[in-house]
Amino acid sequence: ELPRLKELGVTAIELLPVAQFPGTRNWGYDGTYPYAVQHSYGGLEGLQRLVDAGHALGLAVGLDVVHNHLGPEGNYAPQFGPYFSDDYRTPWGAALNFDGPGSDEVREFFISSAIFWMEAAHIDFLRLDAAHAILDAHNAVSFLEELSTRVAVAEVELGRTMRLIAETSLNDPRYVEPVESGGRGLDGQWNDDFHHALHSLLTGERDGYYIDYGDVGALARCYLDGYRLQGDYSEFYRRRHGRPSAHIEPSRMVVFSQNHDQVGNRPRSDRLSTLVDFESLKLAAAAVIFSPYIPLLFMGEEWGETAPFWFFVDHGDRGLVNAVREGRAREYASMGLGAGIADPGDPATYEDCKIDSTLQASGRGATLYRFYTELLQLRRSEPLLHALTRPEMRAETISANALAIHRQDDHGGLTLYLNFAEEAVEVRLPGGARLLHSSADAKWDGPGAGDLATRPFMQSRRSAMLIGYPASL
């Protein structure tokens, strides 16, 4: 798959956690041995071969790591020291002890495990799972601050680079602010707000955390400032949430229309391709890839994969399997969604999640694959798209469900028009505008891009359009 990903335009791959877990199949968040690579994946040698193959093609390789809890089965750490906190718990079990008695040694164990991935496997970046659940309020120096400082030292000693990227729902820019300014010193973070704003516009969903989104203003704020919630009142949290983030460089944020959490934690683990039409899939891709941030693709979205991504486990403890099954059934039954939920412990559930890469070879799968390839090529070739900055960026609301994102520098400008409406909208185009891309183009099985010289110019329903114009406009 690596040569195909390279040809698609991908520059890095990110793996779910590989720390040893019970059985042969798991999302990876039940790992209990942070230095051991899952045996059913090929162990450390298998990971090294994958990383070497990626590097040979110019692909960076990243790894999801869990520094907030350990899995419930095969977890013997408490018998060897105070690895767990007496003060905190996470949604997944006991929190790791990063600020209580004996916590210096616990910190050292996990910080050294992070450096191990760089040294032994040549991993290029780590995604720090649920960084907000790394709890250490009783220590003046946070675990993440110490981690980033130690990794920086190891980079010099090893002559390598390894970026640290937080997954967090706090909307807190301090994760990526410098240590000397009171931050954690990490290199980047996932931006869930961008996903929520985009998903709610595409699907119309307003349940749960989507209640704080659903209008183009929310997405516009994400383009311009990073987060939608920056200390604003949240209907979902029923309190103010987040901090101002406009000062954070776009190169420090990762955005997406789908990922393993956003798909897999839905009651039926359904991908975006099963929720919206083909035009909306193309619109979603353009919104992400033409953003000023680092775009993340979820495996198979580039051809419109429809396989679900269920939660699955292979615990040897039948009682634990039953507890997981019953717990998820209760959770979804409370939403009125008990029927049709896959059994996490059934091998068929795992098999049902496998993607089918042959779909990229024909039909709309092939069309969408070519579409993604062109988007990524445009991102590389257009300076204003790959700059990872906000040069004179501004947003314009065209209608209740359409907006334009304008970018300009001394050499010219680009405007991304995003129409989430179910009908065409009138767009006022500047003179000298040239069409760089339209998701409505007939070559993408769309209704047609239209003639930019036509007045009034009507942008098709559920479409994205990128135009360029001279610097004088």
pLDDT in tens, 200-209: 999 999 999 9
From 14, 124, 129, 225, the catalytic residue: 129
* Banded pLDDT at 387 (limits 50, 70, 90): confident
For the question of residue 99 being annotated catalytic, the response is no
Statement: the pTM of the whole predicted model exceeds 0.85: yes
Interatomic CA distance for residues 391 and 408, integer angstroms: 6
Per-residue pLDDT, averaged over 369-393, amounts to 93
* Banded pLDDT at 310 (limits 50, 70, 90): very high
pLDDT given for residue 193 in this prediction = 99
Domains and CATH numbers, the chain: 2-377 (3.20.20.80), 391-469 (2.60.40.1180)
Per-residue pLDDT, averaged over 368-391, amounts to 93
Per-residue pLDDT, averaged over 268-286, amounts to 98
For the question of residue 205 being annotated catalytic, the response is no
Q: How many CB atoms lie within 10 A of CB 414?
A: 22
Percent over 90 (pLDDT), the chain = 92
**276 pLDDT more than 60:** yes
**Residues 263, 269, 275, 277, CA torsion sign:** positive
pLDDT single digits (tens) 12-34: 999 999 999 999 999 999 999 99
Residues 6+ apart with CB under 8 A from 282: 368, 371, 439, 444, 446, 463, 464
Residue scoring higher pLDDT (471 or 342): 342
Interatomic CA distance for residues 145 and 457, integer angstroms: 52
From 30, 124, 136, 167, the catalytic residue: 167
